[in-house]
Amino acid sequence: MDLDLNCVTSLLVLLEEGHYGRAAAALHLSQSALTKRIQRLEQQLGVCLLVRDAAGVAGATPAGARFAARAPALLEAARAACEAARADSPYTVRLGVPGPVGDFPERRHLVEVGRRLRQRHPGVRLVCRSVPLAATHACLVEGWVDVLWGASPPAPRAIVTSPLLDLERIAVVPAEHELADAQEVSAADVAASPLLYIPDVPPELMAPFLLADVRPVRHARLVASDGRDSRSFIRTIQPGQTAVIGASVWPSSIVKPGLRDLRIVDLPPIPMHVGRRRADRREPVRTLVQLLPEVAEAMRKNRWGSDDAVSS
């Protein structure tokens, strides 16, 4: 039987959320893409899985309920089969990081994470993968990475999160911007400028960077950016515009010449979390989740100095 496991995962999230819009946001898909996944799964199984109403989803059909009850075990069995197939190869744990590998956390910190992980689990290899902001949770839910640096609540129920660190928000402006000579600015000052945003990033994840806790987003002057991560996002800034990023421990090297970074003094920090799949109970994965907050603390103390290579 040709069964797409991404479609199975999407069905479970949709049944949990009970709403196409919320489920699509949790999976970082468009509603039309989610609809196509559900239709494809129904075609593969040859049965109707959902009871649909004017709101979109009223619940599962009897066939859908039976399938959903067994689907988590199916997904876990598939992952276990993949691991068994790789049994003769070095055991790999995949860590998803925002943006280019080595930007945040810096490469030397990732090397240290790999070293500590191997101390606890000899033979385990850490591979770091870049995760686009528009698919942060989806990369974890769909199994492209095993652990996620930078999960943001609310997360899909399939993801377990734990606190990682808080990011202070800073404003990045061109050198000729009227605020460029200030080292510190207020949220009101920043809110008065046109703000960059990435259209593909779900609104709940983009909200802190649009100062949605200061005033309604509908009052903001938003400028769409084609950036996929913080580095490319910042590099699209044009004269008169502002970008807000989380930067408590972010290396200043991502701010290109001609730009200024300004501390926003009156906003709460952005909480970041580490995430893993709820069904993934492997010890190396759990160990990595425990190690990452230690790394975040060490980043603040800057106590590591090596800059070795890391897989990506």
Quick: pLDDT tens for 88-112. Answer: 556 789 999 987 888 788 888 899 9
pLDDT of residue 275: 94
More confident call, 249 vs 156: 156
Which CATH code fits 169-268? 3.40.190.10
pLDDT number for residue 13:
87
Residue 109 CB burial class (10 angstroms; 0-12, 13-18, ≥19): buried
Which helix (H) or strand (E) covers residue 163, if one does? strand 159-167
Q: Of the segments 115-129, 248-262, 291-305, which one has the largest average pLDDT value?
A: 115-129
pLDDT bucket at 286, cuts 50 / 70 / 90: very high
Alpha carbon distance 176, 290 (integer Å) = 44
Instruction: Quickly count: other Cβ atoms within 10 Å of residue 306's Cβ.
Output: 10
- Going from the C-alpha of 186 to that of each of 206, 220, 268, the distances in angstroms are 19, 15, 12
74-83 CB contacts, 8 Å cutoff, 24+ apart:
74/5, 74/8, 75/5, 75/8, 75/9, 75/279, 76/279, 78/5, 79/143, 79/279, 79/280, 83/282
What tokens appear for 175 in the block? Answer: 């050198």
- Of all residues in the chain, the percent with pLDDT exceeding 90 is 28
pLDDT of 89: 52
Per-residue model confidence (pLDDT) at position 306: 37
Q: What is the pLDDT of residue 1?
A: 62
Phi, psi (degrees; rounded to nearest 5) at 276:
-145, 165
| pLDDT tens-digit series, residues 177-190 | 999 998 899 999 99
CATH architecture for segment(s) 91-166+271-301:
3-Layer(aba) Sandwich (3.40)
- Read off the pLDDT of residues 73-86 as tens digits, 9 standing for 90 and up: 888 888 778 767 76
Mean pLDDT of 9-25: 85
Yes or no: say if 170 and 247 are a contact pair by the CB < 8 Å rule.
yes
- Compare 70 and 57 and report the one with higher pLDDT: 70
**In angstroms, rounded to a whole number, what is the distance separating the alpha carbons of residues 132 and 139?**
9
Q: Where are the domains of the chain?
A: 5-85, 91-166+271-301, 169-268
Q: Identity (one letter) of the amino acid at 282?
A: R
Same fold yes or no, 91-166+271-301 and 169-268: yes
| Amino acid letter, 86 | R
Q: State the chain's mean pLDDT as an integer.
A: 83
Predicted confidence at residue 55, as pLDDT, reads: 65
DSSP-assigned beta bridge partners for residue 259? 174
For residue 196, count other CB atoms closer than 10 A to its CB. Answer: 23
Average pLDDT on 22-49 reads 86
129 burial via Cβ count (<10 Å: 0-12, 13-18, 19+): middle
Contact 101, 130 (CB under 8 A): yes
Residue pair 242/193 in contact (Cβ under 8 Å)? The answer is yes
| Dihedral angle sign, alpha carbons of residues 23, 24, 25, 29 | positive
* Domain at 5-85: CATH code: 1.10.10.10
Distance CA 244, CA 271 (A): 15
Q: For residue 297, is pLDDT > 50?
A: yes
Show the tokens assigned to 121: 């689990």
- What value does the mean pLDDT take over residues 112-118? 93
Pair 87, 100: CB distance under 8 Å? no
Q: Residue 84: what residue type?
A: A
Percentage above 70 pLDDT, the chain:
89
Q: Which amino acid is at 46?
A: G
Q: How many helices (H) and strands (E) does the chain have?
A: 10, 13
Please count the other Cβ atoms lying within 10 Å of the Cβ belonging to residue 274.
24
Quick: pLDDT tens for 190-211: 998 999 998 888 787 888 889 9
**pLDDT band per the 50, 70, 90 thresholds, residue 308:** very low
* pLDDT band at residue 229 using 50, 70 and 90 as cut-offs: confident
